[in-house]
């Protein structure tokens, strides 16, 4: 009788802790930690890298590395009649999986049909998709400061969003609509017209990005109420500037109220000195000065529980990631320590061909830059153990592929501990169960031995593993697996 009572108490406490943790899991879909895979917003009108890789193996590699989300940039021009996906290779052997024949089912597909294929493949790995409207015209992200242009009206922008929202209404892994990438422009020497938040800048037509986001968000939710409506900041708010899309100061004075709380997510972009050498990077107290700056421009949203906060873009060069004394390494580490475990994020980028930062992949499109990955890995929110597929060391010759065979992707391993003892305390108790529960919902507990957490040996770390530890603790079971 006592054992049954103890069982009920322990499991009740565990479930209470889990539900309490989930309340702060960042979005209604939990904490999303992923990568950007770009290309649909460019003149290729398809995902970059398909000249060298099969799209299925790219998705598999993203999943194998422990990411649970892909942010996919797209442009409105991909719906135009002249838009055709190109630079897609169908020959040779994929350098990651070793499979013969690549992208064979993409032949003749439109850009949005190619997007369909990637979304469906991602669903097989429980990878969530965030759609990012990166620009109106292809490759137009830098020049376009607002959500509309002379060629693409606001109504076209909203209608295209509604079209995509309806198309993926029954795709449960399509979870987010990032309405407009990096609204920017300022009243000084920068680009015009300037995007504003909660007010109009005289002389430039409609500049109120906040109001436009509310109009678009309402239409998107009407077409697909399942989506997160992700609203980025601006560059300048009432004369104070920050990164493009990273300035959310206006939320203090004029928060979005027309989008339901469970659907609204604010988003900021954050970069290091390699993108632009901002003054704060040379401050005498850098990087200790950064938390106050982040609080000022966006992190107050997280601290005050106004809404979930998502970092759609942040990145670091390979050179900086390899040098722990570099400015950008110190910035990146400080940023991830401050926000990486609490918020959702997608690293820029998986592609190696980003002009600003390069990517998580090396130029061969298969080897992982382990310096970057090791900076991200401690902050992953994933229910499964990262399990990279070994890259073939001597793949057959591939048409258009690099002549030098890609190197095997290194995997960081732990020395296995006693199953269930995830804090390596030499005992298995309720603390271990709670730590597994915390890991499951993305809180990344400290001193957590991942190798000891899979108590039912199914390859996943989930709530079942936590409950088994609780049962073990009260002697309801005597062994795992």
Catalytic residues: 182, 313
Inter-residue contact 193 to 185 (CB < 8 Å):
yes
Strands 69-75, 240-241: pairing is: unpaired
DSSP reduced 3-state for 438: helix
The two tokens of residue 137 are 């015209």
* Nearest residue to 232 (alpha-carbon basis) of 270, 262, 278, 192: 270
Neighbour-count burial for 14-42, b at 16+ CB within 10 Å, e otherwise: beebbeebbeebbbebbbbbbbbbbbbbb
**Burial status of residue 305 (CB atoms within 10 A of its CB: 0-12, 13-18, 19 or more):** exposed
Q: Which two tokens stand for residue 328?
A: 């950008």
At which residue do the structure tokens 């190197």 appear? 407
Q: Is 428 exposed, middle or buried (0-12, 13-18, 19+ CB in 10 A)?
A: buried
- Alpha-carbon span 422 to 416, nearest angstrom: 10
Cite the beta strand spans of 110-188 per DSSP E.
128-135, 174-178
**Using alpha carbons only, what angle is made at residue 266 by residues 261 and 270, rounded to the nearest 5 degrees?**
160
- State CA 256 to chain mean position distance: 23
DSSP element (H, E) containing 174: strand 174-178
Name the H helices within 286-382.
290-294, 300-303, 318-321, 327-335, 370-376
Task: Specify the length of the chain in residues.
Answer: 481
Dist. CA 439–CA 442, nearest whole Å: 5
Q: How many CB atoms lie within 10 A of CB 405?
A: 18
Say if CB 217 and CB 258 are below 8 A apart. yes
- 78 phi, psi to nearest 5 deg: -70, -15
3-state secondary structure 215-262: HHHHHHHHHCCCCEEEEECECEECCEECCCCCECCHHHHCCCCCCCCC
Secondary structure (3-state) at 380 = coil
Compute the distance between CA of residue 49 and CA of residue 352 in angstroms, rounded to an integer: 9
187, 173 Cβ separation under 8 angstroms: no
């Amino acid at each position: 009788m006592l054992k049954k009572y103890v069982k009920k108490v322990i499991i009740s406490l565990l479930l209470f802790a889990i539900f309490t943790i989930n309340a702060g899991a960042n979005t209604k879909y939990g904490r999303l930690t992923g990568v950007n895979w770009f290309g649909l917003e460019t003149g290729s009108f398809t995902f970059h890298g398909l000249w060298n890789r099969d799209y299925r193996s790219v998705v598999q590699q993203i999943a194998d590395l422990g990411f649970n989300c892909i942010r996919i940039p797209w442009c409105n021009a991909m719906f135009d009649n002249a838009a055709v996906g190109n630079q897609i290779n169908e020959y040779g052997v994929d350098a990651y999986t070793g499979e013969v024949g690549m992208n064979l089912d993409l032949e003749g597909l439109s850009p949005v049909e190619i997007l369909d294929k990637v979304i469906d493949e991602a669903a097989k790995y429980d990878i969530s998709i965030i759609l990012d409207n990166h620009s109106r015209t292809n490759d137009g992200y830098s020049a376009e400061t607002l959500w509309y242009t002379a060629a693409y009206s606001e109504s076209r922008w909203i209608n295209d969003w509604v079209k995509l929202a309806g198309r993926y209404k029954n795709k449960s892994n399509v979870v987010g609509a990032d309405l407009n990438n990096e609204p920017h422009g300022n009243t000084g020497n920068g680009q015009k017209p300037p995007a504003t938040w909660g007010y109009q800048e005289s002389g430039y037509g409609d500049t109120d990005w906040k109001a436009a986001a509310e109009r678009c968000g309402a239409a998107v939710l009407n077409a697909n109420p399942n989506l997160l409506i992700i609203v980025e900041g601006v560059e300048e708010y009432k004369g104070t500037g920050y990164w493009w899309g990273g300035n959310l100061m206006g939320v203090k004075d004029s928060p979005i109220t027309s989008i339901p709380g469970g659907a609204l997510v604010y988003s900021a972009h954050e970069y290091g000195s390699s993108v632009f050498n901002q003054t704060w990077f040379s401050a005498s107290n850098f990087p200790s000065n950064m938390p106050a700056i982040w609080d000022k421009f966006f992190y107050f949203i997280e601290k005050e529980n106004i809404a979930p906060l998502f970092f759609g873009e942040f990145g670091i060069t390979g050179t900086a990631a390899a040098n722990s004394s570099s400015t950008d390494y110190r910035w990146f580490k400080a940023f991830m320590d401050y926000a990486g475990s609490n918020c959702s994020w997608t690293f820029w980028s998986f592609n190696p061909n980003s002009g600003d930062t390069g990517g998580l992949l090396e130029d061969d499109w298969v080897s992982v830059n382990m310096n970057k990955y090791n900076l991200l890995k401690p902050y992953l929110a994933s229910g499964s153990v990262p399990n990279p597929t070994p890259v073939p060391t001597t793949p057959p010759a591939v048409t258009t592929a690099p002549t030098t065979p890609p190197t095997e992707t290194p995997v960081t391993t732990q020395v296995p501990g006693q199953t269930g003892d995830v804090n390596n305390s030499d005992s298995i108790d309720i603390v271990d169960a709670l730590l597994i529960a915390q890991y499951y919902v993305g809180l990344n507990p400290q001193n957590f031995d991942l190798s000891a957490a899979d108590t039912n040996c199914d390859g996943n770390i989930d709530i079942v593993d936590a409950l088994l530890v609780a049962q073990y603790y009260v002697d309801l079971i005597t062994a795992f697996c």
